Amino acid sequence: MESLLVGFSPSSALVSSGSSCWRNKDLMAGHFPSFYKGLQVSRCKVWNIIDRTTVVKLERYHLKHHIRGAKDRSIYHQKIKIKHLANAASGHPLQSNQPDDYKPKSPLNSVINALDAFYRFSRPHTVIGTALSIVSVALLAVEKVSDISPLFFTGVLEAIAAALMMNIYIVGLNQLSDIEIDKVNKPYLPLASGEYSFKTGVLIVASFSIMSFWLGWIVGSWPLFWALFTSFVLGTAYSINLPLLRWKRFAVAAAMCILAVRAVVVQLAFYLHMQTHVYRRPAVFSKPLIFATAFMSFFSVVIALFKDVPDLEGDKTFGIRTFTVRLGQKRVFWTCISLLEVAYTVAILVGATSPFAWSKLITVLGHSILALILWNRAKSVDIGSKTAITSCYMFIWKLFYAEYLLIPFVR
């Protein structure tokens, strides 16, 4: 308690007032009547009492604020701890243990934080899937080695740039429409966490949709432009909360939206972009293209079903009637695994009928390995754990990427 009073003047005031009284008494003894001397002594006693009262009040004041400060610091660190636990549960990387108030502010840190927020806003697993699918489908249009030319890379880059902008529009609009749901299901997303305001989200979404259409228009490829337009319409109908829209509320309609974009639009439109616009050849629906469309139809249904398995709590709270809400996590989980195993079996059979030994080897062996890995992973998943289910969902996306690496070898 003494340390709380160091540097303050009440005690010094007490001493000075006491000494002043004694100087007054000496002065009065030589120059004033005795009755006045008694009066001055009484006044000194009064001043001493007042000084003591002041010291006691200041001690109480600083004790009160010391306790309050300790309590506030305790609450602050409790909040930091809770925030870190929430981040860990959501699967988002833990931030530094150093409180934000003590982090050095610099332009570099601001840039890093802004890039991190946009990275999460863009839903990178969908960005990677879109880019890989376009490259893979573009390779289906290659008929000879000389087709791998600057013209090929230009056509691919045009398609990827326009498609990624539209991809960000679609995932961004979904986040704008699901802020309250994401506070439960995905609290690490920028809109749900408050890193982005609603206006910021609207600005990003509008800007990327405009840039996507602008690029598709100046490229002059009708297959590319219609791919963007169809994705825009279906992505908007899936998410936006308007009469007769927000199709994600209905399990079948939601699955059909994802299937139409991921399985049909991506395979056919981007193949036609390369075949008819880049190479100026007539459209030919080859065996690899038909296989890719059929296989990705299975895969798109799986992604449409599986993405809702970790989100059971939030979807049930806000009345989103997904298959997981209606049928339960376990049933939907094993339905997805079964669908993928069937798709891998069909792919193995297709590969076995190939007239090319190298295609047969890569297709059969590659799909056999993926099927085995998926089955072993599925058996080890704790369906009751949201973290485990989310991790498995991201693993499904990795299988999605791997399939696009195998598709060009199907002949």
| Record: fold of 286-410 | Four Helix Bundle (Hemerythrin (Met), subunit A) (1.20.120)
What distance in Å separates the CA atoms of residue 364 and residue 377, rounded to the nearest whole number?
A: 20
Q: What pLDDT, in 10s, does the model give residues 74-124?
A: 444 444 443 443 444 344 444 444 444 445 568 889 999 999 999 999 999
**What is the structure's pLDDT at 68?**
52
CA-based nearest residue to 383, from 391, 373, 375: 391
The model's confidence at residue 18, banded by pLDDT at 50, 70 and 90, is very low
The structural domains of the chain, with segments of one domain joined by +, span 117-284, 286-410
Are 132 and 401 a contacting pair, CB within 8 Å?
yes
* Reported CATH class of domain 117-284: mainly alpha
Closest CA to 388 of 333, 342, 346, 324: 333
Q: Does residue 304 contact residue 259 with C-beta atoms inside 8 Å?
A: yes
Per-residue pLDDT band for 21 (boundaries 50, 70, 90) equals very low
The pLDDT tens digits of the residues spanning 345-380 come to: 999 999 999 999 999 999 999 999 999 999 999 999
**Rounded (5°) CA angle 281-282-287:** 105
Q: Give me the pLDDT at residue 51, please.
A: 53
DSSP secondary-structure letter at 307? T
DSSP state for residue 104 in the 8-state scheme: P
Pick the more confident residue, 286 or 29. 286
Considering only CA atoms, which of 173, 216, 222 is closest in space to residue 198? 173
Tokens of 19: 């000494």
d(CA 251, CA 308): 10
- Residue range 114-131, pLDDT digits in tens: 999 999 999 999 999 999
**Greater pLDDT, 39 or 311:** 311
Q: What is the pLDDT of residues 214-267, one digit of tens each?
A: 999 999 999 999 999 999 999 999 999 898 899 988 888 988 999 999 999 999
Listed in sequence order, the DSSP H helices in 220-310 are 222-239, 251-259, 270-272, 287-306
